[in-house]
A and B are shown apart, each in its own frame.
Chain A
Amino acid sequence: MPEFALVSRPALPHSPVGDASRVRIEALPEGHVLHVLAAGGRDITPEQLASLGDGTAHAVRRYAPGQWFVVGNEALGSKEYREKAARLGADAAVSDQSHGRVRVAVSGSGARSLLAKGCAVDFSPSVFAVGATAATLYNHIGIHVTRTAEDGFELLVLRSFAQSLWEDLSVNHGEH
């Protein structure tokens, strides 16, 4: 069935909510999310991890001891994924989570206040600087949050929870 048009259905087919000057919630492109798991006793260097990314700043996000997510806006085909995974050889396994996890950007001067309505992390810049990342919750939903700019955050969420997260953020956005 080679003629069949394959279309990927986005988990969050929504227009951005809010105004960038205050708080804006935006579903990011479903590009790639690579879950890197270092082999027992192997060290993965920041350079090795960065080499998997597409140059996007703060693409590498620590997830657990010896585990990282590497994210980017470009969707990868099977070949590209395999080629990237092979770069780390036996040092690490790479699990493709590009469809399993969805990224949501929260930005603007009120971003911290919106995040505080569901998230216990202290986002003051002295504690959670640009580039910092944490596995946490937004209300009852598990997220992985990264500060990508002074007033910019990215939430990585399991695809099945993405719609609920979007709704929770939108509800809490009301005040802004």
Chain B
Amino acid sequence: MTAYRLGQGGRIDRSRTLGFTFDGTALSGHPGDTLASALLANNRLLVGRSFKYHRPRGVVAAGAAEPNALVTVGSAGRREPNSRATMVELHDGLRAESQNRWPSLNWDVGALNGFLSPFLSAGFYYKTFMWPASFWEKLYEPFIRRAAGLGRASYHADPDRYEKVWAHCDLLVVGAGPTGLAAALTAGRAGAEVILADEASEPGGSLLFDSASVDGQPAGQFATQILAELATLPNVRLMTRTTVFGWFDDMVFGAAERVSRHVSQPLPGQPQERLWRIVAKRAILATGAEQRPLVFPGNDRPGVMLADAAVSYARRFGVGVGRKVAVFANSDAGARTAASLQAAGINVVALVDARVGHPAAVTVPRIFSGGVVSGTSGSRALGAITVRHAGGEDRFEADALAMAGGYSPRIHLACHRGGKPRWSDAHQAFLAPEGLAGLTLAGSAAGARTLGECLSQGAAEAAAVVADLGHTGTAAQFGAVDGDVPEGSVRALWHVPGGKAFVDFQNDVTVKDLGLAVREGFSDVELAKRYTTTGMATDQGKLSNVNAIGILAEARGVSPAEVGTTTFRPFYTPVSFGALTGSSTGHHFQPVRRSPLHGWAEKHNAVFVETGLWVRSSWFPRQGETHWRQSVDREVKTVREAAGLCDVSTLGKIEIFGADAAEFLNRVYCNAFAKLPVGKARYGLMLREDGMIYDDGTTSRLDENHFFMTTTTALAAGVMNHLEFCAQTLWPDLDVRMASSTDQWAQMAIAGPLSRAILQVIVDEDLSDENVPFLAAKTVSLFGGQLEGRLYRISFSGELAYELGVPAGFGEAVADALMEAGEPHGICAYGAEALGVLRIEKGHVTHAEINGTVTAEDLGFGRMVSQKKVDFIGKHMLEREGLVDAERPRLVGVKPLNPEQSFRTGAHILAKGAEATLENDQGYVTSSAFSPHVGSTIGLALVTRGPDRHGEEVVIWNALAGETVPGVLCDPNFVDPSNEKLHA
């Protein structure tokens, strides 16, 4: 094969030259070239090695379906493996490398696999690597992994930006070939909002290389004229380099726009790629049809390519694919191809028509009617072909072979929502399912065979759609089409018997492999695909699937209709992870929620920790503290001895209004709320329907019909949803309404024996125990009437403590004032770590204990569960046998016998002397911390009959770390068990 740049023709800009490299060799091309056309123009025919046998392979197609010419382009973070050379637009400085070869494309050691091919048939993995089983992980899998795969991903970070965008339209037209242009023009003229998307860099589709003319204009010029009119319609948006890759529910289409792949790096502000979600009222698939290869011995030799590709290279890119081109077809597409190539000045040496009795209307030196190509030869590229015909066999020189095996309409998108394609004997192809609401197909995607049919169908479908949407318009009319050569009758020719004939080029699947699959019981199309790998990987069988189905059908003696297709799923062509990720990377991976006291915490040198989306202050190191424990121990001690201020703004807050709010709360909490007095807070336990605890928190009655609920940070949204669900669906008769106010309030815990004195400095009213007793909740005036806040005398630390809520914007100022007022008393800021230690010391639970499997009784709240209420969520399921079992794990404290020893959360509890086995497991440590007051690690644990076993020695077993620590079970209230400090 000798490919070359034609002296004239094509849509390339010959006045400019672009330099690029392929495997390090400097080459050149022109604007308008793809990498594939530029390689061919430079007579670079061998572009890759096949997956399994490492056979030399060349360009087969001229578009998205290319199975062979997979290359790696770019370098470092912009390295893109498995790029189809037929879709890569040439640009100055482009660097491309071949794949799947070592040490070089010309001399590839992996090609030795070809000699092993008798042993590498379909299913060889399953047959070969089974014994001994222990070899799998250490030997077979690493070996297969090294051998498999095509390109290699880059380990560099991608320097470019990606984004996702939504778009809306009346009509989405997929494909800007003749059908799509006619449809867009019709709908655009009628005033509909139209998006016309095309995967190519230049719209026009087959018009860009079709030798027919419309109304006296060459096809390419006709396309230019339509595009010019579309450009004048503001309601039509043309999106090129945009592949619509999927059709999803609610008429949402996914599309990937390659914004900057055609230049060496994105222009300022531009993303590399853009992922579109297009919401369309209607869609027309004008996606055209894929020409099928023919399956004959030696059909994978570089130089053998699709007939339309050969014509496209000649007429669109000005490239002759060979000096002696043969054509092999099973329809009139053969004669059409020969004529088109000749018109472009290319020497056609033979036309092989598999049909008998269809005289060709072209003059070619050799014409074989009823002949087939039965073999090819040549080293790394085609040199000669052998034709078998009624009169015997002829072998002659040919350096390129254009094959036309019929057309497969591109119906992928139409099948993405579960529809099954229908086989058409008339078309010898699968057509889209019928009755697709909102989506219609037109042109060759719907089986049209001529340019004239495509234009009229596109216009007619669009006219029907716009009328349906209430617009007035008529189908665009175009002049007569001249030179339109329909395919004529197509002979079903699924394969030519003989030597190794490839069905799937990308996966090296041969006719023989499919036969083997049928013989071994994998004849179902889905099984055959997986057994042979036909139709897998980046091209997903765009060229191979229908041939494979035809061959399976022949082997089974049935019609392709009975074999059916494998399932079509998005994506139509591969979409980069970058596009799918959009801008959600790095710092922007997910939103961050900041407390209104974030700035205050920063001023106090906080170390922050991510808890869900929130960023919380964890501890506040002071000068000289080099280890977090030093800071946390100091904060804990300061709170117990003086006072501390902690940001608790992240806890969920819900305002509950309504005449029936009290009744509502009485039903969602397991304990009583109906008679909670105004001005009082109460700890509440919320159960799930199954009786397990869902969440806890305090709820205060601020007014007769106004309550204020707090939830845990983790379940703030969950509880809000739960309450709305209860109000809207369980008890719609209750007058109750909820508003989340989590973000409205900056909430501070002021805890410690000196907290009252400190708080009194900013609170206008008297804070004495008489006026503000334990569990008081009220609106208070602050700073001499400058501000109002909400004050709650509640405590998580077990100390005399308050929570003060102020409007979020004032949070930092109020916290500053409290720190200033507390300075003489030794106040400190304390974070989530110290908060955790303080609550563990008091045996207070969090979601570490409320793990979804515990009941109120398990946590020592059994008496809180109302026996009087008629009903509340979870009441009835609480009576289940398993939930009242005396052996259930229940809350207990645990500490080491030797204070010098420590243990970790998650360690298990064993009875003393019991063997360390899971059978002997009696429970586990749910929370643990070093307690400066106890002087050792302490823990909370859920242990079988825990509360009955205070004082019992146990073993704390951490199997992961190989640690066993002798410990003792105890009261979980480690500090001030009589709660005197709380009520001070």
**B-binding residues in A (CB < 8 A):** 1-2, 4-11, 30, 35, 37-41, 66-67, 78, 93, 95-101, 116-122, 124, 127, 139-141, 158-161, 163-165, 167-168, 171-172, 174-176
Min CB distance B443 to A, Å, is: 28
Most buried by B among A99, A159, A160: A160
Is B783 on the interface with A (CB-CB < 8 A)? Answer: yes
A30 and B591 contact, CB distance less than 8 A: no
B788 and A9 contact, CB distance less than 8 A: no
User: Which residues of chain B are near A117, meaning CB under 8 Å?
Assistant: 163-166, 583
User: Which residues of chain A are near B783, meaning CB under 8 Å?
Assistant: 1-2, 4, 6
In residues 32-90 of chain B, which contact A (Cβ within 8 Å)?
none
Min CB distance B786 to A, Å, is: 5
Q: Would you give the 0/1 interface string for B161-183, flagging 1 where the beta carbon is closer than 8 Å to chain A? A: 10111111000000000000000
The verdict on A8 contacting B809 (CB below 8 Å), with A78-B788, A93-B657 known, is yes
Min CB distance A172 to B, Å, is: 6
The verdict on A159 contacting B165 (CB below 8 Å), with A4-B783, A6-B786, A140-B584 known, is no
In residues 692-711 of chain B, which contact A (Cβ within 8 Å)?
705-706
Is B744 on the interface with A (CB-CB < 8 A)? Answer: yes
A7 and B813 contact, CB distance less than 8 A: yes
What are 29 A-to-B residue pairs whose CB atoms are below 8 Å? A1-B762, A1-B821, A2-B785, A6-B813, A9-B596, A9-B599, A11-B596, A11-B809, A40-B658, A40-B659, A40-B660, A97-B739, A98-B807, A99-B809, A99-B810, A100-B740, A100-B743, A100-B745, A100-B808, A117-B163, A122-B168, A124-B193, A140-B584, A140-B591, A159-B596, A159-B744, A161-B591, A163-B592, A168-B591
User: Which residues of chain B are near A96, meaning CB under 8 Å?
Assistant: 744, 807
B809 and A93 contact, CB distance less than 8 A: no
Nearest-CB residue, chain A, relative to B787: A6
Q: Would you give the 0/1 interface string for B812-833, flagging 1 where the beta carbon is closer than 8 Å to chain A? A: 1110010011000000000000
A116 and B744 contact, CB distance less than 8 A: no
A8 and B744 contact, CB distance less than 8 A: no
Most buried by B among A1, A122, A127, A176: A1
**A-binding residues in B (CB < 8 A):** 161, 163-168, 193, 269-271, 277, 279, 583-584, 587-588, 590-596, 599, 614, 655, 657-660, 705-706, 734-737, 739-745, 761-762, 783-788, 807-814, 817, 820-821
**Apart from A116-B166, A120-B277: 16 A-B pairs, beta carbons within 8 A:** A6-B810, A9-B599, A30-B809, A37-B737, A40-B658, A66-B737, A95-B655, A98-B807, A99-B745, A100-B740, A117-B163, A120-B166, A160-B593, A160-B596, A160-B614, A164-B592
A100 and B584 contact, CB distance less than 8 A: no
B588 and A99 contact, CB distance less than 8 A: no
B809 and A9 contact, CB distance less than 8 A: yes
Min CB distance A78 to B, Å, is: 4
User: Which residues of chain B are near A116, meaning CB under 8 Å?
Assistant: 165-167
A95 and B739 contact, CB distance less than 8 A: yes
A99 and B744 contact, CB distance less than 8 A: yes
User: Which residues of chain B are near A101, meaning CB under 8 Å?
Assistant: 743
Nearest-CB residue, chain A, relative to B600: A9
User: Which residues of chain A are near B761, meaning CB under 8 Å?
Assistant: 1
Most buried by B among A41, A171, A175: A175
Sort A-B residue pairs by CB-CB distance and give the 10 closest, nearest first.
Answer: A2-B784, A100-B744, A8-B809, A93-B657, A40-B735, A164-B591, A160-B593, A100-B743, A99-B808, A122-B168
Docked CA distance A52–B787 (Å): 22
Min CB distance A95 to B, Å, is: 4
Docked CA distance A30–B812 (Å): 16
B584 and A10 contact, CB distance less than 8 A: no
User: Which residues of chain B are near A158, meaning CB under 8 Å?
Assistant: 593, 742-743
User: Which residues of chain B are near A118, meaning CB under 8 Å?
Assistant: 164
B784 and A9 contact, CB distance less than 8 A: no
User: Which residues of chain A are near B279, meaning CB under 8 Å?
Assistant: 120, 122
> Which one of A1, A9, A140, A172 lies within 8 Å of B812 (CB-CB)?
A9
Docked CA distance A158–B590 (Å): 15
B744 and A141 contact, CB distance less than 8 A: no
> Which one of A11, A41, A172 lies within 8 Å of B583 (CB-CB)?
A172
Min CB distance A173 to B, Å, is: 9
B591 and A37 contact, CB distance less than 8 A: no
Min CB distance B650 to A, Å, is: 8
Most buried by B among A40, A118, A121: A40
Docked CA distance A118–B584 (Å): 11
Nearest-CB residue, chain B, relative to A124: B168
Min CB distance B588 to A, Å, is: 6
The verdict on A171 contacting B810 (CB below 8 Å), with A2-B784, A120-B279 known, is no
User: Which residues of chain B are near A66, meaning CB under 8 Å?
Assistant: 737
Nearest-CB residue, chain A, relative to B615: A160
A171 and B583 contact, CB distance less than 8 A: yes
B743 and A159 contact, CB distance less than 8 A: yes
> Which one of A35, A40, A174, A176 lies within 8 Å of B161 (CB-CB)?
A174
User: Which residues of chain A are near B595, meaning CB under 8 Å?
Assistant: 160
User: Which residues of chain A are near B820, meaning CB under 8 Å?
Assistant: 4
A9 and B813 contact, CB distance less than 8 A: yes
A35 and B739 contact, CB distance less than 8 A: yes
Docked CA distance A6–B815 (Å): 11
Docked CA distance A67–B288 (Å): 51
A139 and B737 contact, CB distance less than 8 A: no
Docked CA distance A160–B811 (Å): 13
Docked CA distance A9–B806 (Å): 12
